[in-house]
Amino acid sequence: MKVLLLLFTITVASAIKRFDGEQVLRIFPKDERQLQELVKLEMTEARLDFWKRPGGLSRPVDVRVPKDLLTHMKKLLGNTGIQYTVMIDDLQQLINNQTSTLKGDIFDEYNNYEELQNFAHEYPSLTTLFNIGSTYEGRDIKAIRVGAPGTNKVAVFLEGQIHSREWIVSATLLYNIKFLLEDYGLVEHITELMNKVDFYFVPVTNPDGYIYTMNHVSYRFICAKGGSSNYPCADTYHGPRAFSEVETQSLSEWVKAKGQNIKAYLAVHSYSQLWMSPYGWTSEVPKDYDDLQSLAKKAVSALAAVHGTKFDHGSIPRLLYIASGGSIDWAYNVAGIKYSYAIELRDTGRYGFILPADQIEPSAEEFYAALKVVAEHIAKEFST
């Protein structure tokens, strides 16, 4: 067990990129011409890092701009009449502030998984660690089952951090593992829930990308029909074909093998505070849309009750834009998992992907409230 848990540890690459003087701009397109200017810019200027892509006139666009492009970028926006604000004035300073204010508790820091070893030793009857496959670079993709012993139990599957820079995702999921294990036997409704439901966590689905900040993956169901790019250097590159990466191949094969038990699939991302349902590839909605939205509404209500954090819910195109190649379309249509959601955690853009570590615990607490709602619902609907 110790060997398996130690394999959860992920070390950060020794070469550390700095972002001194880089800014994140929030841009507000006011008409279709301005929106298309931003779309063109995203496709032609590879050095710009679009944290929030151009998706509609009602949605701001967040862009990380290298220091040597700032003057040119701001002049370009000014010449085209596109309004913007500086969301992050100095990205490196924000990173420095984040890393200098850690609390000391390992769960309140990013990039640390060693504590899982202690919890698994403490709760051997409630946890099982296993591999779901290997990455392109040969790293194990580790998963952990959390739940009381039992057979043919319904399950929630949580896909975490398939996009490497969304660090709050794995931190939030690890905290939720901690919450479940500590609550079992002490909190009656959690004990009853874990007797009925298994939770399969994959805190880091893309460990290669996590280490090297690369995140180009896609799923087979309606791939490359919109909202993705055929430009290999683009953040939204869909790959040469569906399931082109071994990470998504491994994940899909494992999920299909367990498909009869998995009744909820939560693909967890950041940032934007959204709880989204299929489809992503089309503005049409699936036959279970009303049920999906009913549960989503209950989940985000429970989440908001913890710290007052507001999440919007709806289909992906209604909240963002057409986005094909996502795992929840595949999970819903191919794997047959009714309650499939893509979730964007904190925040709405003040910090973006550089969310301070002091927000890990509150993010985890509010997500835990929503997770319990989902698990209780599938236990009621599907348990025999």
Name 140's Cβ contacts closer than 8 Å, sequence gap at least 6: 7, 131, 133, 134, 207
Name 11's Cβ contacts closer than 8 Å, sequence gap at least 6: 211
Nearest-angstrom CA–CA distance, 38 and 83: 12
Q: How far separated are the first and last CA of the chain, in Å rounded?
A: 32
Comparing C-alpha atoms, which of 169, 229, 204, 230 is closest to residue 364?
169
Beta carbons of 179 and 285 less than 8 angstroms apart: no
Q: Is the link from the previous residue into 271 a cis peptide, with omega within 30 of 0? A: yes
Q: Is 109 a residue of the active site?
A: no
Q: How many helices and strands (H and E) does the chain possess?
A: 13, 12
Nearest-angstrom CA–CA distance, 33 and 82: 10
- Of 22, 37, 247, 344, the active-site residue reads 344
Nearest-angstrom CA–CA distance, 27 and 30: 10
- Give the pairing type, strands 274-277 and 312-315: parallel
Helix axes 167-183, 360-382, angle to 10 degrees: 60
Q: Output the six-digit token pair for 275.
A: 């709880």
Active site residues: 344
